[in-house]
Amino acid sequence: STAQQRLIDADHAHLLHPFSSLYSQKNKELAFFESGEGIWLTSASGEKYIDAAGGLWCTNVGYGRQELVDAASSQMSKLCYLHSFSNFTHEPQIELTEKLLSLLPSGFDRIFYGLSGSDANDSNVKLIWRYNNVLGRPEKKKIIARESGYHGSTVTAGSLTGITAAHRAFDIPRPGFLHTVAADWHRRPDHIATEEEFVRYLADELEKLILAEGPDTIAAFFAEPISGSGGIIPPPAGYFEAIDAVLKRYDILMVADEVITGFGRTGTWFASPRYNIKPDLMTLSKGITSGYLPLSASVLSERVSKVLYSEAEADGAFGHGFTASGHPVCTAVAMANIDILEREKLPENAAKVGAYLQNQLREQLGDRPFVSDIRGEGLLMTIEFDKDKETRTPFVQASKAGHFAIQACHDEKLVIRGARGRALAAMAPPLTLTESEADQIVERLLRAFTRIEDAMHKGEFD
């Protein structure tokens, strides 16, 4: 329609979309959506898509939940805003905090609220720096994260992020942010034969980096339990135990970024316990409101909060917060969102239907020549494509292959996600997914796959 065309023209003229091969100066094709229900998105022209990516891995309870609309609306009419990072407080943020602490692994006792995963990671870095200042060791400030890790896009969170393609255009990572080797079994060095060897290699690499920099200068290690945006990379068995031993040796804090893995995504409320991660700090966002409103949480263990609440802070030296910290409407919606996850047992459903979907993918696609890996946990999974699956040799133009796959699925009205520099089809559908909806995802994927495989056979990405 002309009204819609006017909006699209205005978007082209005035919105700054991130540039990628899906949207660039050359390719400005936009997908225009109007409404959502469950796993479904409806475009402005009335076409129905399955959002198998769950937005950006965040719509855990699915689109269109009236309960969340009601929670927002009733809180907004009662108290729409409160400046709550200093001495003012309100019920929704207190209730949410108690609820979160009851769901999290034991040992956590304080929460600071922000609005995005990026700012929560920034807050965690400031908390860690303050922690070491209070402890009288101001030189212990450097942070180690991992290659292929994603922690956000602000200057600090972008510096934690280990995806080189995300750095190139900007002067990040900033000094003091380092990266160690990713726990990426699929892309392991050729000389490594077993998971055990790989884990030893990864722990050694971390220790070498710490020793080269000087252990007294390293403050913390950031990791996602399963790397998400970097390509859905679950850790090899024993990995976090081996990392933990290294960190303990040099008194380095562990931060688990559960922005994607939290709130049931991998089949349990949080993924840290499954991998024996014992974080000193945790980062939460996305599934905390299922994407309905912006909210994030920096979660502090007793070890960290004890220091920050010690005598040294009696003068209120830690001044940190945002206008919308602990926002009453966002925290009220988070509470209602958690009610749904609990009542409908959605973490359990993610485990069950996630296993079903992964099995279907293996059965239908596992033997195909270019499908070199199918991996994931719960409703967080990916298919990876390689030029040669036996030797795990990637396509020369892996990004191009990845974008081709996204586009081919989009043409079949299936929304999936890729990862920078890799050829893969990643999925994180709402945790409400049923087996029959999973079948519909597989059907669409198979239709798209005919064209994907055809292009691969023709050598379009070699």
Binding site residues, ligand PMP, CB under 6 A: 56, 116-118, 121, 150-152, 224, 228-229, 257, 259-260, 285
Give the three-state DSSP class for 27.
Answer: coil
Q: Considering the complex, state which of residue 257 and residue 384 has its C-beta at the smaller distance from ligand PMP.
A: 257
Q: Which two tokens stand for residue 345?
A: 């047992």
Q: Considering the complex, state which of residue 298 and residue 432 has its C-beta at the smaller distance from ligand PMP.
A: 298
**Least spacing, CB of residue 163 vs ligand PMP, in Å:** 11
40-43 vs 417-419, strand pairing mode: unpaired
**Least spacing, CB of residue 403 vs ligand PMP, in Å:** 18
**Least spacing, CB of residue 34 vs ligand PMP, in Å:** 23
Q: Considering the complex, state which of residue 7 and residue 56 has its C-beta at the smaller distance from ligand PMP.
A: 56
- Residue 160 CA neighbour count, 13 Å, CB half: 27
Residue 111 per-residue DSSP state: E
**Least spacing, CB of residue 307 vs ligand PMP, in Å:** 24
Strands lying side by side in the sheet with 296-301? 108-114, 296-301, 281-284, 253-257, 218-223, 142-146, 177-180
- Residue 30 CA neighbour count, 13 Å, CB half: 20
Closest residue to ligand PMP, Cβ-based? 117
3-state secondary structure 306-323: HHHCCHHHCCCCCCCCCC
Q: Considering the complex, state which of residue 65 and residue 151 has its C-beta at the smaller distance from ligand PMP.
A: 151
Q: Considering the complex, state which of residue 56 and residue 192 has its C-beta at the smaller distance from ligand PMP.
A: 56
**Least spacing, CB of residue 120 vs ligand PMP, in Å:** 7
**Residue 255: which residues within 8 A CB-CB, separation 6 or more?**
121, 124, 128, 220, 221, 222, 223, 279, 280, 281, 282, 283
Q: Considering the complex, state which of residue 347 and residue 371 has its C-beta at the smaller distance from ligand PMP.
A: 347
One-letter amino acid for residue 69 of the chain: V
**Least spacing, CB of residue 415 vs ligand PMP, in Å:** 15
In terms of Cα–Cα distance, which of 133, 125, 166, 156 is closest to 19? 166
Strand blocks (E) in 224-285:
253-257, 281-284
Q: Considering the complex, state which of residue 50 and residue 297 has its C-beta at the smaller distance from ligand PMP.
A: 297
**Least spacing, CB of residue 312 vs ligand PMP, in Å:** 30
